[in-house]
Amino acid sequence: MDTENHVEGELSSLLRQILHELRAIRQLLERQSPDQTKHAVIAQLQQLVYTPQKAETYLERYLTTRQLHIVEATQLAPENPVMRKRMHLAYFMGQNYSVVQDLLQQLRATLQRPNKVQLNLSGHGENAISIITNVCSRLYHLYMLQYYKYTRNPRSICCKVRRQPFVHNYLSGGWFELYVAQEAQKLLGNRLLWAKRNVKLQAQGGAVCEADLLMVVQSKQGELLPVVLECKSANALYDNEPRQMQRLNSLLNLGMRCSAVVFPERPSPAFAEQWFTETGSQIIGREQLPQFLSEL
């Protein structure tokens, strides 16, 4: 009973806020011509200043009306200095994915049974070699490679991953989530008011669904929007992943405008259409992320 009263109180407060804003818009409509009104309303909405606190309150109310609440979430920027270095490395790898793609795929393939990975660099330019050796060196110093050696003649690298859970999580996809989170933060700027990674949402019946990145964004029209990004570093969706994404979209009542699955590479039109049908989300590559976010 207390929970129902709390929900009703939150709904009542939200409806009063909406009613107040509608009255303000009506006053504008009564005072000005249609063209003046249109521009004035848009300008007024665009000038609304939302704080992170207001965005968090908005999200809490939004989730409450859908009988959801957050049970676990991770801050975008970790306080641990080692984790911050891993985050910065993730962004560097995302920015240079076309160069380090082969290395990352080979490392990922050995996570279950770590073996030495050998990569011939003789066909790479100086810049590409610099990027690849930079990544390997940083992975080694961040305790994710047990072994790393760069040979100048012939140019090649040899390395081996550590058999540790945090290494598995990072190289199997955690790095790409960190990259997407930082890229979204950079692209949205002040329009990103609230964001958490690895968000676990619990429904009324106890079922839990997860979102790689849950954000509250102020749209260019001035409204607050809940936005979900799922990050898939393997460039594919497997097993129950499409159904889980569809369920998350349904629970949050998200349309394709506010929901996307992001891959490192741009998916083919056929796969994008198929997975959109199965998930209800836009299916995009990392290079399409700026366009997706700009349209919010």
pLDDT in tens, 182-202: 999 999 999 999 999 999 999
- Token code pair at residue 191: 């329009």
Q: State the pLDDT at residue 14.
A: 55
Q: State the pLDDT at residue 41.
A: 56
Cα–Cα dist 230/246, whole Å:
11
- Token code pair at residue 131: 């990027």
Percent of the chain having pLDDT more than 70?
84
Band of pLDDT at residue 239, cut at 50, 70 and 90 = confident
Averaged pLDDT for residues 255-273:
96
Band of pLDDT at residue 205, cut at 50, 70 and 90 = confident
Q: State the pLDDT at residue 7.
A: 47
Which region holds residue 125: left if phi is over 0, alpha if psi is between -120 and 50, else beta? beta
> Is residue 175 predicted with pLDDT exceeding 80?
yes
Q: Say if CB 105 and CB 135 are below 8 A apart.
A: no
Measure Cα distances from 296 to 18, 258, 291 in Å: 21, 7, 9
Band of pLDDT at residue 30, cut at 50, 70 and 90 = low
Measure Cα distances from 43 to 37, 38, 249 in Å: 10, 9, 31
Q: State the pLDDT at residue 42.
A: 57
Write out the E strands in 32-176.
68-75, 117-120, 145-152, 155-161
Task: Compute the C-alpha angle 68/219/208, nearest 5°.
Answer: 20
Task: Compute the C-alpha angle 103/109/110, nearest 5°.
Answer: 100
Q: How high is the mean pLDDT of the chain? A: 89
pLDDT in tens, 72-129: 999 998 889 999 999 999 999 999 999 999 999 999 999 999 999 999 999 999 999 9
Q: State the pLDDT at residue 244.
A: 93
Q: Say if CB 175 and CB 194 are below 8 A apart.
A: no
Cα–Cα dist 271/283, whole Å:
8
Cα–Cα dist 110/88, whole Å:
23
Q: State the pLDDT at residue 237.
A: 87
Cα–Cα dist 164/28, whole Å:
61
